[in-house]
Amino acid sequence: MDLAETNSGERMQWAAITGVIATVSVFAIAQGLSYPLLSFILQRQGVSPAMIGLSAAMTPVGFIVSSPHIPALARRFGAGRTALTCAALSAIVLALIGWTQNVYLWFPLRFLIGVVTNPLYVLSETWVIALAPPARRGRVMGIYSTVISAGFAAGPLCLLAVGTEGWPPFLVGIAAFVFCGACLTLVLRRLPKFDETGHRVSVVGFMPMAWLLLSAVVVAAGFEQAVLALLPVYGTHYGLAEARMSALLSVMIAGNIAMQVPLGLLAERLTARLVRFICVSLTVLGCVLLPVLIETPLIWPCVFIWGAVSYGIYTMSIIELGERFTGSALVAGNAAFSLMWGVGGIAVPPLAGGAMDIFGADGLPITLGAICLALAVTTIMRRRMV
């Protein structure tokens, strides 16, 4: 193979990576838009906060239920066909949600949108991991994590432009899913195939192979969801204004968005496993410092770094996943990651909320610090056993 062919192959590879990341970014915008949109609509209908929370929980339940079936779907129908079908079904289900406007009908529909969007997300992430050159996987996955976070953050901003009433916000979400399918179609021929006929790995079969990675995903998901849900509640204990707590959350999300590429570059110089341990350790330190710094100006850089390293746990985990697994094991691993993300997002916030009922506001940093410390200790013990 001559130099021209090599350069052409590299350009095609980077074009495929760009296309898949563009797909995921639009998907993230659609998801980031739908959560607050549906909550606003239910609030206007006079639905109780508890019912709104239960309704929102249907989507991650859909993630959990669908995750074990993704590897089999990719093998049977092909990863590309599965992802394109899911993009189309996501648009249809979102249109049905906009058409019904009924809290009780939204329960099964929000469950369905979790079921049909999950394969699109899992397969797109798997393609990015598989396409990323090993020497540059850290920066590629850092860019990927940044784009995902920015997309979710941009979703609510779309509501400022189109409002939350009538069909316009739903049409934005529907158009986003259609655009996802269009982006995928453009790069589909350049994407790796995972529907191999040889050794097959299921989600359940994958779990013993990388239980520590999956534990890290549970911690990262639980931390993010608990902080988003309960940090405003934590601030009221100190008499902090809602505007200040909202600003703190925004700074935390900004840290998440801004620092994934630098963390990815650091993983290329060190290792993803070592950087993940550093991220876990700094997240524990953030939990210790939160009650000390919450009423001081130092809380601003603290939550910026906290946001970066807490989500960095997940970024480092997907980098290590790509380093260790290929083919059907990589698909099963990504599906298992999605399942564990749903488990962490559902399990940790109620646990932290219950701790706040028992210990007061400090129950939040105590709970989050404890689960992160447990992950750090387990990582050390695992390292010594190897």
User: CATH number of the domain that 22 lies in?
Assistant: 1.20.1250.20
> pTM to 2 decimals?
0.86
In a domain, 309, yes or no: yes
In a domain, 291, yes or no: yes
Assess whether 47 and 186 both reside in one domain.
Answer: yes
Do residues 276 and 317 touch, judged by C-beta distance below 8 A? Answer: yes
In a domain, 2, yes or no: no
Do residues 137 and 322 touch, judged by C-beta distance below 8 A? Answer: yes
Assess whether 282 and 362 both reside in one domain.
Answer: yes
Do residues 96 and 42 touch, judged by C-beta distance below 8 A? Answer: no
| Domain residue limits at 257 | 201-385
Q: Which residues contact 253 (CB under 8 A, 6 or more apart)?
A: 149, 153, 307
Q: What is the pLDDT of residue 196?
A: 55
Q: What is the pLDDT of residue 199?
A: 65
The span from the first CA to the last CA of the chain, in angstroms, equals: 40
In a domain, 5, yes or no: no
Domain count, the chain: 2
Residue type, 307: G
Pick the closest to residue 334 from 228, 192, 225 (CA basis).
Answer: 192
- Give the three-class secondary structure for 325: coil
Do residues 218 and 349 touch, judged by C-beta distance below 8 A? Answer: no
In a domain, 3, yes or no: no
Do residues 136 and 247 touch, judged by C-beta distance below 8 A? Answer: no
Assess whether 194 and 205 both reside in one domain.
Answer: no
Assess whether 139 and 110 both reside in one domain.
Answer: yes
Assess whether 32 and 155 both reside in one domain.
Answer: yes
Q: What is the pLDDT of residue 198?
A: 54
Assess whether 288 and 356 both reside in one domain.
Answer: yes
Do residues 367 and 227 touch, judged by C-beta distance below 8 A? Answer: no
Assess whether 32 and 79 both reside in one domain.
Answer: yes
What is the residue whose two structure tokens read 């940790």?
Answer: 348
In a domain, 144, yes or no: yes
Residue 78: left if φ>0, alpha if ψ -120 to 50, beta else—which one? left
Point out the domain boundary residue: 198, 221, 240.
198
Assess whether 155 and 267 both reside in one domain.
Answer: no
Assess whether 282 and 352 both reside in one domain.
Answer: yes
Residue 83: left if φ>0, alpha if ψ -120 to 50, beta else—which one? alpha
Point out the domain boundary residue: 137, 168, 198.
198
In a domain, 86, yes or no: yes
Point out the domain boundary residue: 154, 178, 198.
198
Assess whether 251 and 381 both reside in one domain.
Answer: yes
Q: What is the pLDDT along the chain (386 residues), one digit of tens a residue?
A: 454 445 555 666 777 888 888 888 888 888 778 877 887 888 788 877 667 767 877 888 898 999 999 998 988 888 889 999 999 999 999 999 999 988 899 999 999 999 999 998 899 889 999 888 888 899 999 999 898 888 887 877 787 788 888 888 899 989 989 988 888 888 888 887 765 555 678 888 899 999 999 999 999 998 988 887 788 788 888 888 777 887 888 888 889 889 999 999 999 999 999 999 999 999 999 999 999 999 899 999 999 999 999 999 999 999 999 999 988 889 999 999 999 988 988 888 888 888 888 888 899 999 999 999 999 999 988 776 54
Assess whether 90 and 227 both reside in one domain.
Answer: no
Query: In whole angstroms, what is the distance from residue 27 CA to residue 33 CA?
Result: 10
Q: What is the pLDDT of residue 386?
A: 47
Q: What is the pLDDT of residue 277?
A: 96
Q: What is the pLDDT of residue 274?
A: 94
Residue type, 37: L
In a domain, 47, yes or no: yes
Q: What is the pLDDT of residue 384?
A: 65
Assess whether 250 and 129 both reside in one domain.
Answer: no
Q: The tokens of 265 are what?
A: 């570059």
User: Which parts of 163-271 fold into alpha helices (H)?
Assistant: 168-187, 203-206, 211-237, 242-269
Query: In whole angstroms, what is the distance from residue 87 CA to residue 187 CA?
Result: 15
